[in-house]
Amino acid sequence: MKYRLAIFDFDGTLADSYPFFLQVFNQLADKHGFKGIEPELAQSYRHYTPRQMMELVGMPKWKLPFVARSFIKLMKQNTAGITLFDQVEDTLRHLTEQGVTLGIVTANSYDNISQILGPARMKLFRQCECGMSMFGKPSRIRKVLKTTGIAAHEAIYIGDQVPDLEAAHKANVAFGAVSWGYGAIELLRAHAPEEEFETVASIKRIA
């Protein structure tokens, strides 16, 4: 077993919520007073870090908690339209059957992730840390380590954005970059992740 603990980000890693993010982005921009984005440029935006995107649309950091809260509220009203990526359930079950402990650390709310995952898949996770800033994940990763009693060098945080990678490294755990999320794999690769996953099913190899 390569890692005894696999901690997952949620949006863009387990849940295919990027299309919904693009759908509501301009609505959030109008409400909170920053620039909208052009839907036809969606793929190019994946090559920006969240901080770069905030600069691009003129959103100061102090607005982020308010924008995030609005996004989470809109998602709560639309969870039925957000699906998991293919092979998520099969991959999670494989990891647990091989003895890997699972956790989630996400800026999204517990209500949203539990609705989208459903009761059976939620039971696969030992611990879910939800609702922090996307830049506030290191302490929550450390909390999962403390609760599970698993050493940092035996853990991996799997996510899709540069702040996820930075959080993992601040918590002294490995980072696994996924190729299907909000951030382009080329962007993540430039920051030297310990692992890269080309498909959801490829995550099985960590067990």
Do residues 7 and 173 make contact, with C-beta atoms less than 8 angstroms apart? yes
pTM of the shown model:
0.95
Identify the pLDDT of residue 38: 86
Q: How far apart are CA 46 and CA 34, in angstroms?
A: 19
Contacts of 31 (CB under 8 A, 6+ apart): 70
| pLDDT per position as a tens digit, 146-180 | 999 999 999 999 999 999 999 999 999 999 999 99
| pLDDT per position as a tens digit, 75-95 | 999 999 999 999 999 999 999
Q: How far apart are CA 177 and CA 164, in angstroms?
A: 9
Q: What is the mean pLDDT of the chain?
A: 95
| pLDDT per position as a tens digit, 91-149 | 999 999 999 999 999 999 999 999 999 999 999 999 999 999 989 999 999 999 999 99
Residue 192 structure tokens: 């030297």
